[in-house]
């Protein structure tokens, strides 16, 4: 079983309270029983004692006077310390003498009550008394002694609303559990659920939770600070990577331009001069050397163009739609598979996004051919509600399971990681879905806010 904090807290609060309640209750019940026994023997002894005194006094002829004096002594005792009452009644039940407040005894005592033993009686008001009556010798009188439970047992025992006690304890216990839930468990849980799905380096948790206990608030603030610095670091890292990519792309396009404007033109001019030279030869036969030279130069032109394509094709400037068609044509010729493009027109994407899409498609189609043995690839470019979507779907063999881009990168397969990196650099996402035997789909989304031209960051001079 899971040891949930809330369960532990509930048990920790309720078990000791109820244990205290039960132990205290048991003690009080014991105590009450003991007091009852004491009360019984007390009233019995008292009644017997007074009855004995009356009897002996009567015999000595002191009669009523002694009785009166005796009662005075008892009265003083009762007034100050002894709980209960003593009274002497005649056989008709009339009070002859009594300690103060003993009128109640006249109401309680009835002739039918057993004599010489203690009984528990309930008054008409519902109060409990322990009472004992003793006959006082030959006089025909009875000595009645009684104590009230209320006086004797004390407030704790007198309090007999035990269920209420349990109820209040239980209620207070639940109240504490609720307080702990609200200030401790629930904030802890929300912190846990927030942190568990937190994209480290991209998101930060809430900075403060006013409901939580102080320690939890501190913990949250510390986590917030940590997450914040991770975001900062990730930002720096992305900027660094982005700069690297930017520099690389700039360098590539500079090189491509250099090749295009320099060697490519020079060799082209060379070919022209070779052809002119050949045509001006008197013999009319261009000669094998000139022909070889021309063939070599033509080959050089093709290679230079291919090199430009490899680095940064100049036709990227035509816009994404044309660039995708051109790339598709070239890849399909080069890799021997069918590459179809379905591109929505009039998408004047920013140069960074064009470049990112271009590199992703390049990599993806190569992967489809190399790893998927796909026969056809479809590239779709379309606008969605808040983004521009690029989808590359192949009919290759697909693969099982989820793609862990980072794991692939670590194991040296940087292609997918680079694709994903490219997309994140232009603020987009890349998602790969594949079914074994059912082909692979790579889906890139770039939010409209960063996709279109005019949102370009300033280019390097």
Out of 47, 145, 264, 392, which residue is the one contacting another protein (CB under 8 A)? 264
Tokens of 5: 């904090």
Is 269 a binder of another protein (CB under 8 A)? yes
Is 281 a binder of another protein (CB under 8 A)? no
Which residue's CB is nearer to another protein, number 60 or number 276?
A: 276
Is 362 a binder of another protein (CB under 8 A)? no
Which residue's CB is nearer to another protein, number 249 or number 266?
A: 266
Out of 1, 60, 197, 276, which residue is the one contacting another protein (CB under 8 A)? 276
Closest CA to 35 of 117, 130, 143, 101: 130
Which residue's CB is nearer to another protein, number 86 or number 301?
A: 301
Which residue's CB is nearer to another protein, number 343 or number 426?
A: 343
Is 322 a binder of another protein (CB under 8 A)? yes
Q: Are 376 and 413 in contact (CB under 8 A)?
A: no
We find the least distance from the C-beta atom of residue 289 to another protein, in angstroms, to be 18
Is 299 a binder of another protein (CB under 8 A)? no
Which residue's CB is nearer to another protein, number 91 or number 272?
A: 272
Distance CA 106, CA 115 (A): 15
Crossing angle for the helix pair 5-59 and 162-180, nearest 10 degrees?
Answer: 160
Is 310 a binder of another protein (CB under 8 A)? no
Site for another protein in 333-352 (CB under 8 A): 333, 338-343, 345
Site for another protein in 116-135 (CB under 8 A): none
Which residue's CB is nearer to another protein, number 128 or number 315?
A: 315
Which residue's CB is nearer to another protein, number 217 or number 305?
A: 305
Site string (379-418) toward another protein, x via CB under 8 A: -x--------------------------------------
Is 265 a binder of another protein (CB under 8 A)? yes
Which residue's CB is nearer to another protein, number 197 or number 276?
A: 276
We find the least distance from the C-beta atom of residue 321 to another protein, in angstroms, to be 8
Is 268 a binder of another protein (CB under 8 A)? yes
We find the least distance from the C-beta atom of residue 398 to another protein, in angstroms, to be 21
Name the segment binding another protein (CB under 8 A); options: 54-62, 163-171, 230-238, 330-338. 330-338
Name the segment binding another protein (CB under 8 A); options: 97-105, 137-145, 156-164, 300-308. 300-308
Out of 132, 301, 369, 390, which residue is the one contacting another protein (CB under 8 A)? 301
Tokens of 174: 């639940």
Size of the site for another protein (CB under 8 A): 38
Only one residue has tokens 């090749």, namely: 259
Q: What are phi and psi of 279, to 5 degrees?
A: -75, -20
Q: Are 352 and 456 in contact (CB under 8 A)?
A: yes
Is 305 a binder of another protein (CB under 8 A)? yes
Q: What are phi and psi of 208, to 5 degrees?
A: -140, 150
Out of 44, 74, 260, 422, which residue is the one contacting another protein (CB under 8 A)? 260
3-state secondary structure string, the chain? CCCCHHHHHHHHHHHHHHHHHHHHHHHHHHHHHHHHHHHHHHHHHHHHHHHHHHHHHHHCCCHHHHHHHHHHHHHHHHHHCCCCEEEEECCCCCEEEECCCCHHHHHHCCCCCCCCCEEEEECCCCCEEEEEEEECCCCCCEEEEEEEHHHHHHHHHHCCCHHHHHHHHHHHHHHHHHHHHHHHHHHHHHHHHHHHCCCCCCCCCCCCCCCCCHHHHHHHHHHHHHHHHHHHHHHHHHHHHHHHHHHHHHHHHHHHHHHHHHHHHHHHHHHHHHHHHHHHCCCCCCCHHHHHHHHHHHHHHHHHHHHHHHHCCHHHHHCHHHHHHHHHHHHHHHHCCEEEEEECCCCCECHHHHHHHHHHHHHHHHHHHHCCCCCEEEEEEEECCCEEEEEEEECCCCCCCCCCHHHHHHCCCHHHHHHHHHHHHCCCEEEEEECCCCCEEEEEEEEHHHHECCCCCCCCC
We find the least distance from the C-beta atom of residue 431 to another protein, in angstroms, to be 22
We find the least distance from the C-beta atom of residue 293 to another protein, in angstroms, to be 14
Is 107 a binder of another protein (CB under 8 A)? no
Closest CA to 144 of 178, 111, 169: 111
Closest CA to 368 of 390, 389, 391, 392: 392
We find the least distance from the C-beta atom of residue 357 to another protein, in angstroms, to be 15
Is 252 a binder of another protein (CB under 8 A)? no
Name the segment binding another protein (CB under 8 A); options: 29-37, 96-104, 136-144, 322-330. 322-330
Is 272 a binder of another protein (CB under 8 A)? yes
Name the segment binding another protein (CB under 8 A); options: 98-106, 118-126, 134-142, 327-335. 327-335
Give the interface with another protein as residue ranges (CB under 8 A). 260-261, 264-266, 268-269, 271-273, 275-276, 279, 298, 301, 305, 308, 313-315, 318, 321-323, 325-326, 328-329, 332-333, 338-343, 345, 380
């Amino acid at each position: 079983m899971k040891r949930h904090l809330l369960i532990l807290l509930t048990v920790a609060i309720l078990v000791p309270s109820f244990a205290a309640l039960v132990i205290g209750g048991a003690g009080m019940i014991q105590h009450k029983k003991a007091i009852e026994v004491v009360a019984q023997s007390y009233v019995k002894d008292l009644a017997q004692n007074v009855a004995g005194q009356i009897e002996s006094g009567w015999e000595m002829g002191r009669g009523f006077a002694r009785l009166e004096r005796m009662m005075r002594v008892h009265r003083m005792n009762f007034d100050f310390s002894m709980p209960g009452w003593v009274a002497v009644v005649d056989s008709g039940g009339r009070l002859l003498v009594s300690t103060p407040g003993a009128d109640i005894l006249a109401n309680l005592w009835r002739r039918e009550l057993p004599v010489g033993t203690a009984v528990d009686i309930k008054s008409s008001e519902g109060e409990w008394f322990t009472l004992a009556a003793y006959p006082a010798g030959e006089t025909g009188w009875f000595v009645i002694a009684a104590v009230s439970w209320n006086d004797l047992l004390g407030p704790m025992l007198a309090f007999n609303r035990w269920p209420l006690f349990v109820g209040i304890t239980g209620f207070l216990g639940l109240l504490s559990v609720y307080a702990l839930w609200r200030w401790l468990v629930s904030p802890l849980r929300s912190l846990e659920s927030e942190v568990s799905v937190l994209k480290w380096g991209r998101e930060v948790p809430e900075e403060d939770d006013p409901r939580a206990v102080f320690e939890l608030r501190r913990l949250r603030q510390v986590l917030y600070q940590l997450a914040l610095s991770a975001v900062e670091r990730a930002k720096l890292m992305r900027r660094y990577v982005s700069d690297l990519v930017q520099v690389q792309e700039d360098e590539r396009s500079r090189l491509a331009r250099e090749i295009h404007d320099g060697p490519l033109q020079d060799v082209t001019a060379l070919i022209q001069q070779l052809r002119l030279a050949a045509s001006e030869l008197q013999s009319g036969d261009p000669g094998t050397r000139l022909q070889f030279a021309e063939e070599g130069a033509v080959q050089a032109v093709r290679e230079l163009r291919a090199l430009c394509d490899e680095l940064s094709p100049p036709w990227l400037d035509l816009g994404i739609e044309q660039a995708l068609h051109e790339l598709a044509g070239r890849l399909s010729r080069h890799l021997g598979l069918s590459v179809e493009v379905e591109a929505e027109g009039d998408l004047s994407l920013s140069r960074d996004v064009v470049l990112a899409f271009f590199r992703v498609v390049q990599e993806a189609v190569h992967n489809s051919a190399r790893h998927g043995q796909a026969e056809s690839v479809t590239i779709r470019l379309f606008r969605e509600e808040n983004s521009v979507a690029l989808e590359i779907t192949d009919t290759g063999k697909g693969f099982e399971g989820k793609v862990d881009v980072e794991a692939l990168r670590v194991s040296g397969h940087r292609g997918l990681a680079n694709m994903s990196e490219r997309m994140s650099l232009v603020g987009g996402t890349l998602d790969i879905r594949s079914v074994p035997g059912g082909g692979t789909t790579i889906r890139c989304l770039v939010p409209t806010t960063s996709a279109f031209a005019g949102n370009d960051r300033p280019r390097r001079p």
